[in-house]
Structures are given as structure tokens and as C-alpha cells.
Structure 1
Amino acid sequence: MTGPANTAALFENNDASSAPKPRVSRAERRLMEIQRALKRALIRERNVLAAVEIAANAIFEIGRLRKIRNFDPFERLRKWCERRGLKVSSTALTAITEKWRDAGYLMSVEDVGALLSLTPKQRVENQLWTLGARGETAQQRRERKEQRQADARAKKRKADRERVSAARRAEGAQPRAQFEARSTAEFCRKHGISRDSFESARKRGRLEAFLQKRGISETPPRNAQTSVAVESIYSSATHLGASAISLGGRPHGRPTAMFAYPDSVRRAHLATMLDRAANALAAAPRRTRPRATT
């Protein structure tokens, strides 16, 4: 049976394990970036003390935000320098610690840039966002950040377009340039005829006579031919008494424009409409003459 002490310890462990992890503060991120810059030899020998001073400021800020008990900044800074192989005397560490003990703030990016000799290129390539570059103002930094974000968005849009285009080509869709070259608008523009007149003749089923009258022997685009076939089927079904057949998703019972789909899809849709028309006509009640009464 669990005693009160064990129960309390159990709850403490559960609370500690289920507690959300604290977010990485700006000071912790700066400390990691200083370590990265030292590891990649981006900080010169003459700027080592400046890097230690920046690290000391970040360590003080972390201790203040985390409210660490028994916080010894001198010992933490000494161990930090030992792990990075930095040979800094105890006198220098003591002076740096005393300088930032009661500061109560984190150094700005511009102040860090004044202490280090990083170039804007090094800052961007190594993603040292909390470390400033020498001679770079806050306005310049914001403008470069906005430019990087704009470039990243443009790159993502281009990759998304290429991915969608590849998927559509795999499904049989035509490239935009090829589709426009074989479109009805290009056909009308090429022969100098009105698009409204072309569509009016197409809807009435007189497209062939319309083109012959104007001396156009070129075959119209396939989308116009398909639309003529659909309109003729729709008109035939309407005149035969099957006007209630649904031939498409457009209002007023008009057939769906199928020219945007591959040939196989158009043929399948056309066959489906023919089957529906035949079934509707077969199921329609037949008219019979009344029998003569004697």
C-alpha cells in the first residue's frame, strides 16, 4: 500500500513529466548561435573576449527568466568556456560577470554586431539571426529579412506550380500553351470571326454551314466539335420528349463543357448521356389509339 510520502512523490513526478516544456528564449537561442559561430571559426581571435561577454549576458538572462535556484553565473560561464576550449583568465571572467550581474536586459542585435566582426553574408549563411553583422542597421536587417521571406515565398509558389503541373500532365492534361493554341478563341482570332457569332452558330448546330459561308475549310477545335455533338444529342432528346434527363451540372439543363477533360473522359461522358437518353425513351409511356366502341 502506498504511503502519503510516496503518493506525494508520485504526484510530483507526474506533474514534472506532464508539464509543458518551456519555449526556447532569445537568450538561449543566442547562446546556441555563439557556440555555432565559435565551432565554425567565424569569430576571430581578437573577438573571443567579446564572444564570452555576449555569452555571459545570455547566461544572466537565462537565469533571470528561468528563476534558477543557487544560480552561480561565474561557475556557469567558466564551464561554458572550458567546453568550448576558450582560454580565459579568472580575472577576465570575474570582470565580465560583475559587469553584467545587475544589467537585467539582453543585448540588442546591433550591440552584438558592434562587438563581433561578422559579415551579413556569414550571418545569413549560418543562420545567426540573434547575432548582428558589423555596420548593419536595424532598418537594413528588416529589409533583408523581408527580402528573404519574399524569396522563400516565391520559391515555394514555383515549386507548388511545378508539382501541380506535373500531376496534371500525369493525368493527361494539356500544357497551357498547347491548349491555348488549339482553343476556340485562337481559332476565331486566326480567321477574323466574332467569338459570339461562332458560339451562336455552334449552339444552333449550324457551325459547319457558318464556316463554309465564310470560306473557312480548317477544322474547328475539338472542344467546339464535342460541344456540337452534345448540343445535338440534347436537342434530339428534348424534341423526343425526354427533356427531364439530366445531361450536366449547369443550370437550365445545359450540358457540362467537357472540352477541359481528356478525350477518354469526354467519350465516356458522351456514352453515359446516350445511355441515359435511350433508357429514358424506352421507359417513356407509349401513346396508343383508343379502341373504337361498337
Structure 2
Amino acid sequence: MTVPPPDGSRDRRIEDPSNLWLIHPLGRLLLPIAVARGISANAVSIAGLTLGTGAALAYARFADWRFALIGLMLSIGWLVADGLDGMVARATGTASPLGRMLDGLCDHGVFLLIYVALAIVWGTPAGWALAFVAGGLHAVQSSLFEGERTRFHRRAKGVALVAAPPAPAASPLVRLYDHVAGIPDRLAMAFEQQLAASPDPVATGARYARAAVAPMRLLSLETANVRIFMVFVACMAGDPRLFWWFEIVPLTAILLAGLAWHRRVERAFLSSVISSAPAEAPARYLVKEQGQ
């Protein structure tokens, strides 16, 4: 049986090299086996969580380089499972909101376990504080990166998003979170409107994608793959604080720089479109979606 080709849902130009050459090919090799044996996407997600749990337990003994290496291998297994569950869901037509939620919970759960395992072993109040701050920033970084990546992939296909404003939440805390989390969407809305008004949204999206590849490649450093590698490097160095500081300083700087660069590409693209457009360009293309 031949390995199935990539599903095309991700643009190879902005994909992490380890996904292109290792993680996704391994997933495609395992896909026919999983489908033939009736293994569900949710079962694959649970298997990934199990591998991730094993990685956290191995990293709890990072003073022994052999356990650090085992942690890396198990983490790679988790990354493969994380991609394979989506492949299985698409191949079997079993994608569901429950599956997406389970996939997300497993992803966050693995890193939570690794953070806790390293903090327990390090064992100091300062270490716990550092791990807590790094974990919070990790959640923000991952959420914003996924939003940017989803936005890029959608626009590259010529699909504009004009989202209806969500109903205000009852809780002031939730309203504050929604306001802050929605800042990138609001900043990017001018481009969405221009794409919706384009007479040829597919061509416009393709031109945008070529211009936005560079900032998206920078933002691709926010992937779980990079974090998994840095956990291993920090453990091999005998100091998990190196990983936490990597989360707090370089990854935060990369996120801010990538977001600013992406918005700058949008503004430059809008300026060039507006300067070359006729006085009145009718809105001819509009696609509404729910969320990211």
C-alpha cells in the first residue's frame, strides 16, 4: 500500500521542517494501518496523550541523559499521534466537535504534564513561579499562532472572513478575555474586507500568501515541535529553567515580531491594492465562517 499524499490543508511553505520530513510522513505511513484496524481518531488522540504522559515521566528523571532521550522519543511519538488523529478523522469521515475538543485537550495536557514534572523535580518556589509564567505565556502564544496560521491558510485560498460579533458574555472576566483575544482579528479585519471585495479573491489570496510567507515562517517557531526540542535541550543541559526562559523571552519576542510583521504585510498589500483599484470596486465575494 502506498503512502497517501498530504491532504493539502496546510501550506508547505510555512510548515515546520520536522513536520514535512518526519512527523507527517510517519503519520501517513501509519494511517492505512489505523484505518484497516478500525482505530478511531479519538483512540489515536488518547494514545498520543499516553505517549505524552510517558514523556513527562521520563523527563522527571532528566538528570539521567538516557531518560531525557526517552522523553524526546516519546514526545516525537506524541507529535505523530497528534497529526495522525486528524488524518484518521478525515479518511473515515468521522471528524466531530468532540474529537476536536479531545485533540486540543490532549495537546495542552501533554505540555501541562511536562511542565509539572519538571517543576516538581526542580522543587523550588522560584522554579514553580517560572514554570507558571512560562506555561501561561505558552497558552497565549499557541492560541495566537494558531489563529494566524488558520487565517493564512484560509486567505491563501481566497476565502474572506467577515465574522458577526459574538454575543456579549455574562461574565466580565470572559468579556475581557474575548476582547483581548479578539484584538488580532480586529486588526486584520480591514484586509478581510478588501479580500471580500476583490473581483478575483483567489488570485488576491495567492498574492497575499506570497507576501505573508516570511512572517508566517517566523511564527512557525511557535510550534509544539520547537518546544519539544527545547525541552530536551534544557534537560540535557541539566536545567529545565532554560526551557522556561526560552518560553518567556525568545518565543514571546518571536510572537510579537511575527504578529507585527504580518499586520505590516497586510497594510502594505492594502495600500498597493487601493492605489491600483478603480474608484468604485463592488463587493463580489463574501464568505462567513464561525470562529477560527
Same fold (TM over 0.5): no
Question: Which of the pair has more CA radius of gyration?
Answer: 1
With CA pairs under 8 Å and 6+ residues apart, which has the higher RCO, 1 or 2?
2
Q: TM-score, normalised by structure 2?
A: 0.26
